[in-house]
Structure 1
Amino acid sequence: MTDKDIPLVSISIPVLNEAENLDRLYARLAALAQRMRGKCDLEFIFSDNHSSDETWRKLSVLAARDERVRAVRFARNVGFQRSILANFMHTRGDAVMQIDADLQDPPELLEEFFRLWRAGHHVVYGVRRKRKEGVFINAFRRAGYWLIDKVSEHPIPRDVGDFRLVDRKVINALCAMRSSHPYLRGMIAGLGFNQTGVEYDREARVAGESKFGVGRLVSLGLTAVFNHSVVPLRLATFVGLLTLGLSALGAIYYVALRWAFPELPVGLASIHILVLFGIGLNSLLLGIIGEYILRIYILLRSEPVAIVESSLNFVARELKL
């Protein structure tokens, strides 16, 4: 803490090609810091996921102007969830607020998050009441949240993204966990602690392009399922047993039919269909098992979450590689 009565809150912001939003974001963060003056001190921690635009240059300008702006640039794009986790590792605050750079989530909600944190909640997350996106993508997201919550080993709040305030105890627990493909919403929910939500309306993106199309949403959803549920493995066992049962019934039916009607022709087409069905089913089940084995393999390789290529307003001993 910078003062025995004033906590330090880190604002964690992962960025990827967000040069158009940085000036607007910094202006709102600076105004927020002024309003929160006397309640807490703020630092702004950016993690540049190897942007190809002017993002790093703009961050360099901001860091030279304001020592509260600290940034790391990764040697390659490590993915959204890993970039958030790596950013958490570089924060110093007694609490950390995660926010995206596109300003769809209002940084001013920190005031309410902070109040609830000081009241004893270790995690305060934003619950998206409305979001200005297409009908299809909204319905797709809601269905995904519902499915992930249903199959997860522990409850995961619905309509909740990565916009949240997290206590240092939770950050330390997250950094101690090992995961090849982290899904932070599920990891934080699974840790327990005292958690609560705040409803808000999510705004539309003002500048830049969204990095999350349907394909990436599906990939993130699969990560959530495979990281926090054993349902697919149990489903594979169930489907295998069901298929064996149906095959046994089919064999009994076929023997009885051949005994009753020996003149029936041999069904070549049906044999081909059954063989192809068996091959497809086995491939599906092996694929599910392979997803879990892949995660074990990557975990055993013990790769770093991210490698820092450059940093701003950090000293060497503070960098986590």
Structure 2
Amino acid sequence: MPKLSVIIPCYYNEANIPITGPELIRNEQRFPPGVEFEYVLVDDGSRDGTWAALQGFQQQYPDRVTLVKLAGNVGSYNAIVAGIAHATGDCLAVITADLQDPPELLAEMYGYWERGLKLVLANRADREEGLVQSLVSNTFHYLMRRIALPGVPSGGFDMVFFDRQLRDQVVQMHERNSNVFYLLVWLGYPYVSIPYTRRKREVGRSRWTFSKKVKLFVDSLLSFSFFPVRMISVLGLGLGAVAVAYGLFLLVLRLLGENEPEGWTTLMLVLLFVSAFQMVALGIIGEYVWRGLDAARTRPLYVAEQVQPARPAAPSAPPVG
């Protein structure tokens, strides 16, 4: 029978695990009989009691829970890659540890996988969150659709279901400073998208800060689009055209014997604008150069301090006599 591996990145989720674990176990009833389950929970360098909570969950279900403890915090997407690398299932899914993404969708996604689809996405059609957070998230995904990956569903997605073939390809890539979810879409396999309403977080405080969101946007944009470099070229050509036009304007004034416009303030503004553009352009180019250097160093995406694999249940002893 097929085996499903569910990867769950955890970061300061001490209070969530006692709720999420049993919920995932209850959710198994929605699947067809005979499906084998594996839960790979990755502690992304938490400094609270997350690891102890994960160990407690594994003690309850030692035959299906694998734990990976990372030495330091490497970000949720690298933690997901660590979970994918340690998963052994025929199909895999990624879900958050705070139950904002409903586990009951996994059974429906599994059904699409059984029909032959190698990638299934659950996209956020709506969210039970504040206006500012929704606006930031929707803007992020709109820009990514416009300038990087036109095929991704609107609203974004944090829950994916994919075949082991995609798992092997993602692990082999060793992609750095990227977005593993967008990488799955980039592979090019046909997929189906299931809309859902993202729940409001009920337990604990989110560690997904604004700075992390900005980094994710930059990483995603630079990993899947040449738009920033092309934008530098277009703006440079535009500024050059403006300079040529202004030069021709001054030449005509001189030929006509007119006084050239005095504009020390204007000159300084133009100089500051061009200088600012040059610094921004150098910064964008520097981001690409740094990513090339980071990839050339071939450092690991994560360091696993401790791995506790699932322990299959011991077979019962045959009756005596």
Consecutive unaligned residues in structure 2, runs of 5 or more: 312-321
User: Which of 166, 172, 176 is residue 176 of structure 1 equivalent to?
Assistant: 172
Q: Is the 8 A contact 1:154 1:189 kept in 2?
A: no
Q: What is the alpha-carbon root mean square deviation over aligned residues?
A: 1.8
- In structure 2, do the counterparts of structure 1 residues 37 and 56 end up closer, same or farther at CA, with 3 Å as the change threshold? farther
User: Which of 122, 129, 134 is residue 138 of structure 1 equivalent to?
Assistant: 134
* Structure-to-structure mapping, 1:115-264, within 5 angstroms: 115-152=111-148, 155-260=151-256
Equivalent residue of 2:207, what SS?
A: coil
Q: Is the 8 A contact 1:10 1:95 kept in 2?
A: yes
Structure 1 counterpart of 2:98: 102
Cα distance between partner residues in 1 of 2:175 and 2:309:
28
Q: Is the 8 A contact 1:125 1:160 kept in 2?
A: no
Q: CA deviation at 1:222?
A: 1.6
Structure 2 counterpart of 1:64: 59
- TM-score by length of structure 1 reads 0.91
Q: Is the 8 A contact 1:123 1:194 kept in 2?
A: yes
- In structure 2, do the counterparts of structure 1 residues 127 and 259 end up closer, same or farther at CA, with 3 Å as the change threshold? same
Q: CA deviation at 1:35?
A: 4.3
What CA deviation, in whole Å up to 9, does each residue of 1:236-282 have, x standing for no partner?
A: 11111111110111122123334545655753222222221111011
Percentage of pairs with the same residue: 27
User: Which of 58, 78, 86 is residue 82 of structure 1 equivalent to?
Assistant: 78
Consecutive unaligned residues in structure 1, runs of 5 or more: 1-5, 316-321
Equivalent residue of 1:281, what SS?
A: helix
- In structure 2, do the counterparts of structure 1 residues 308 and 292 end up closer, same or farther at CA, with 3 Å as the change threshold? same
Cα distance between partner residues in 2 of 1:75 and 1:219:
21
Which letter maps to 1:53? D
Q: CA deviation at 1:182?
A: 2.0
Q: Which has the larger displacement, 274-283 or 7-16?
A: 274-283
Cα distance between partner residues in 2 of 1:147 and 1:153:
9
Q: Is the 8 A contact 2:8 2:40 kept in 1?
A: yes
Q: Which has the larger displacement, 145-154 or 302-311?
A: 145-154
Equivalent residue of 1:84, what SS?
A: helix
Q: Which has the larger displacement, 210-219 or 255-264?
A: 255-264
Q: CA deviation at 1:136?
A: 2.2
Which letter maps to 1:104? Q
Q: Is the 8 A contact 1:123 1:167 kept in 2?
A: yes
- In structure 2, do the counterparts of structure 1 residues 252 and 57 end up closer, same or farther at CA, with 3 Å as the change threshold? same
Cα distance between partner residues in 1 of 2:215 and 2:257:
52
Cα distance between partner residues in 1 of 2:102 and 2:262:
69
- In structure 2, do the counterparts of structure 1 residues 60 and 239 end up closer, same or farther at CA, with 3 Å as the change threshold? same
- In structure 2, do the counterparts of structure 1 residues 208 and 186 end up closer, same or farther at CA, with 3 Å as the change threshold? same
Q: CA deviation at 1:121?
A: 0.8
Structure 2 counterpart of 1:287: 283
Q: Which has the larger displacement, 15-24 or 280-289?
A: 280-289
What CA deviation, in whole Å up to 9, does each residue of 1:170-216 have, x standing for no partner?
A: 11111111322121122111101231111222111111111223332
Structure 1 counterpart of 2:37: 42
Cα distance between partner residues in 1 of 2:175 and 2:252:
53
Structure 1 counterpart of 2:18: 23
Number of matched pairs: 310
- In structure 2, do the counterparts of structure 1 residues 260 and 201 end up closer, same or farther at CA, with 3 Å as the change threshold? same
Cα distance between partner residues in 1 of 2:286 and 2:232:
12
2:27 is equivalent to residue 32 of structure 1? yes
Which letter maps to 1:8? K
Cα distance between partner residues in 1 of 2:259 and 2:303:
72
Q: Which has the larger displacement, 148-157 or 230-239?
A: 148-157
Which letter maps to 1:7? P
- In structure 2, do the counterparts of structure 1 residues 193 and 264 end up closer, same or farther at CA, with 3 Å as the change threshold? closer
Q: Is the 8 A contact 1:154 1:190 kept in 2?
A: no
